[in-house]
Amino acid sequence: MSTLTIENLTKEYGDVTAVSDVSFEIEDEFVVLLGESGAGKSTLLRCINGLTDPTDGDVYLDGKPVSGSQPSIGMIFQQHNLVEGVSAYLNSLTGSLERTSFVDSLFQWNDRADKRKALEALQTVGLLDEAHQRVSQMSGGQQQRVGIARALVQDPSLVLADEPVASLDPSSAESVMGYLKKAARAHQVTALVSLHQVNIAAHFGERFIGLRDGWLLFDVEQDELTPDLIDDLYGDVETVGLTEQHAADPASERPEARVGR
Amino acid sequence: MDRLRTYLGLSTVGDSAVDEKLTELKRRKILRRLWTGLVIVVGAVLFDQSLQTVGFSFRELITQFPFFLEALPQYFPPTTYFGLPFIDVMQYWQFMIEADLFGKSQVTMAIAFAGTVLGLPGALLFGILASERVVPYPFNFVFRLTMSMIRAIPALVWALIFIPLGGVSPFTGMLAIMVDTTGYLGRLFTDELEEIGDGPIEGIESTGAAKTQIISFGMLSQVFRQFIAWIAFDLEHNVRVAISLGLIGAGGLGLELDIQRKTFNYTEMMACIILIVLLAGSVELLSQRVRSYLRDEDEVEKTGVLEAFLSAPRKIVESAAGRR
């Protein structure tokens, strides 16, 4: 249960404005961030997470200003950003680093509760049996689920995901999104997920925020996401048009996600 | 007289531009020939003086050649197996047992291993602190420079420098290898750290981990296996260095070889050389297997068994000279 408040957030890289004057507030929802590549989705997420410092504006989590990376905000990356040489379990366990001292973490003397939490998180994403496997030997979809587990171990109140399924095939993408939504529900966290597959977004999102050239284009509920809005966002793109039928009516004839419901 | 002047290009025949150019070219040619002649004369004088200094004489070669032929069967003592002439391997073997050469190869291994272990903390510390991602530029250069200076001096010279500290002993050899490892292995660590990806670092950073945790989990964890592989590589290198340090008195196989050389026991010398080649070759093969196991994705250069043994002497010299 948490509230994320963005106030007039602006990020400039030299002459380029990646995010300009974006404000919104989300609370206990599964929110999808839409927009073309370069629209500022990643920059916005990185500013919220503290990996990048905004040029101007503020980020509040439950009323408190956010500065720097912290465990209450979990981050899931497009390229997983896991430590590939070690097991899924150890990767999941790195989510508890902030509350473990340096020496303890070095020797894996984490609290037993944290160790259990790491395995439970892997169980949530359906990887308990594979916990001992080295991440480099896992498929892209499995790796991303380990990424979700790591974020969950942080005990976050907000989970951010930066195009978590962009590099996955459609089936793995659907499964990963399913696990992500399930995890967000089970742990009662607010989620802000950037996606560029409109059909996946329409299927899983509860609220949609559209960015175009760094500006906030729309901020709508599920039933308000219309093909016209998508057209506005991407311009007249033929292949996006195809998926609009699903986007307009996500409930009809689309099979439920295989997992996570 | 005029013809000579013309030939040397000192006076011009005709007055067209072509004639003048021809004269100039002649002058240049003469000058070039004069220089060449001078270089040849100086070279000949130096060569003659060098021969005198080393005491070269054909008579020496001719009178000594029978002795060299006599020494050959001592290097390779002949015998017959089932009527076929072959080298008497048992003579080598007897000396190896007699002089406890296997015990002496253990000394060589001990010098290399203890030196590697003691040099490892320094290598880790310097290697990590020299990385720009850990210590910001230009402060990381303090550590880079220190390692460069250590590497500029080969292990052989370090051993000579440390003689007042530990005497002419295996202990001094170990100290030399310890310092050498800090400079060399540390540099390999730094290079490996330059190649790590930003992704895992950001991944760890995003969890709110402390700076030391970001370094150890985000950065070092990426290169852990590579570091182990480099340690195996450095141990292999240090065994070769330990052998050559023995030649200047640091003990082990190298020292035994030196003693046998001084007493003209050619069979025993060859026994030492054989064991040295076997030791250096086996350690290299072992280290390569370990490395190729650890670096499952990257390729490790693999030498064949025969090549490993044949190239051992050359690599021993290279390692001793610090040429990498």
Domain containing A208 — which CATH number? 3.40.50.300
Per-residue model confidence as pLDDT tens for chain A (261 residues) = 688 999 999 999 888 888 988 999 998 899 999 988 888 899 999 999 888 889 999 999 988 888 888 889 999 999 989 998 889 999 999 999 998 999 998 888 889 999 999 999 999 999 999 999 999 889 999 999 999 999 999 999 999 999 999 888 889 999 999 999 998 988 889 999 999 888 889 899 999 999 988 888 889 888 888 888 888 888 766 665 445 444 444 444 444 444 433
Q: Is B293 on the interface with A (CB under 8 A)?
A: no
- Which distant-in-sequence residues (6+ apart) come within 8 Å of B200 by Cβ? A81, A82, A83, A84, B218, B219, B221, B222
8 Å CB contact of B208 and A49 = no
Upper half-sphere CA count for residue A144 (Cβ side, 13 Å): 23
Task: Pick the residue from chain A with its C-alpha nearest to B212.
Answer: A102
Amino acid identity of residue A111, one-letter, is: D
- Convert the pLDDT of each residue in A119-148 to its tens digit: 999 999 999 999 999 998 899 999 999 999
pLDDT at A36: 85
Q: Is A154 on the interface with B (CB under 8 A)?
A: yes
Task: Pick the residue from chain B with its C-alpha nearest to A162.
Answer: B203
Chosen domain end from A105, A129, A155: A155
Q: Using CB atoms, pick whichever of A74, A80, A97 lies closest to residue B213.
A: A97
H helix or E strand, kind and range, residue B84: strand B84-87
Say whether both A34 and A134 belong to one domain: no
- Residue B205 with chain A: CB contacts under 8 Å: 51, 69
- Residue B217 with chain A: CB contacts under 8 Å: 83, 94, 97, 105
pLDDT at B96: 87
Task: Pick the residue from chain A with its C-alpha nearest to B208.
Answer: A70
Chosen domain end from A123, A155, A187: A155
Instruction: Give me the domain span that covers residue A227.
Output: 1-72+156-261
Q: What does the CA dihedral A212, A216, A220, A225 come to, rounded to 10 degrees?
A: -10
Q: What does the CA dihedral B8, B9, B12, B17 come to, rounded to 10 degrees?
A: 160
Q: Using CB atoms, pick whichever of B202, B217, B222 lies closest to residue A97.
A: B217
H helix or E strand, kind and range, residue B5: helix B2-8
Task: Provide the domain count of chain A.
Answer: 2
Single out the residue of B257, B253, B317, B272 nearest to residue B109, CA to CA. B253
Q: Where are the domains of chain B?
A: 2-54, 94-320
Say whether both A86 and A213 belong to one domain: no
Say whether both A137 and A251 belong to one domain: no
Whole-number Å distance between alpha carbons of A221 and A27: 13
- Residue A80 with chain B: CB contacts under 8 Å: 199, 203
Amino acid identity of residue A104, one-letter, is: D
In DSSP terms, A260 is beta-bridged to none
- Convert the pLDDT of each residue in B274-321 to its tens digit: 999 999 999 989 988 888 888 766 666 677 788 888 888 888 888 877
Say whether both A90 and A135 belong to one domain: yes
8 Å CB contact of A98 and B222 = no
Whole-number Å distance between alpha carbons of B119 and B225: 19
* Chain B from 212 to 231: CB within 8 A of any A CB: 212-213, 216-218, 221-222, 224-225
Whole-number Å distance between alpha carbons of A197 and A244: 11
Single out the residue of B252, B318, B314, B254 nearest to residue B281, CA to CA. B314
Say whether both A146 and A204 belong to one domain: no
The answer to whether the Cα torsion of B110, B112, B115, B118 is positive or negative is negative
- Convert the pLDDT of each residue in B202-233 to its tens digit: 999 999 899 899 999 999 988 888 899 899 99
A and B: number of Cβ contacts within 8 A = 79
Q: Peptide bond preceding B138: is omega within 30 degrees of 0, i.e. cis?
A: yes
Instruction: Look at the domain B94-320 and name its fold.
Output: MetI-like fold (1.10.3720)
- Mapped onto helix, strand or coil, the DSSP state of residue A74 is strand
Say whether both A149 and A162 belong to one domain: no
Contact status, residue B241 vs residue B163, Cβ threshold 8 Å: no
Q: Which of B201, B206, B298 to mutate to test the interface with A (most CBs of A within 10 A)?
A: B206
Single out the residue of B202, B207, B218, B204 nearest to residue A73, CA to CA. B207
Q: What is the ipTM of this complex?
A: 0.82
Whole-number Å distance between alpha carbons of B73 and B193: 53
| Percent of chain A's residues with pLDDT above 90 | 48
Contact status, residue B283 vs residue B302, Cβ threshold 8 Å: no
DSSP state of A169: -
Say whether both A193 and A172 belong to one domain: yes
3-state helix, strand, coil in chain B (%, to 5): 80, 0, 20
Q: Is B298 on the interface with A (CB under 8 A)?
A: no
Q: Token pair of B61, please?
A: 């070669």
pLDDT-flagged residues of chain B (< 50): none
Q: Using CB atoms, pick whichever of A69, A85, A96 lies closest to residue B224.
A: A85
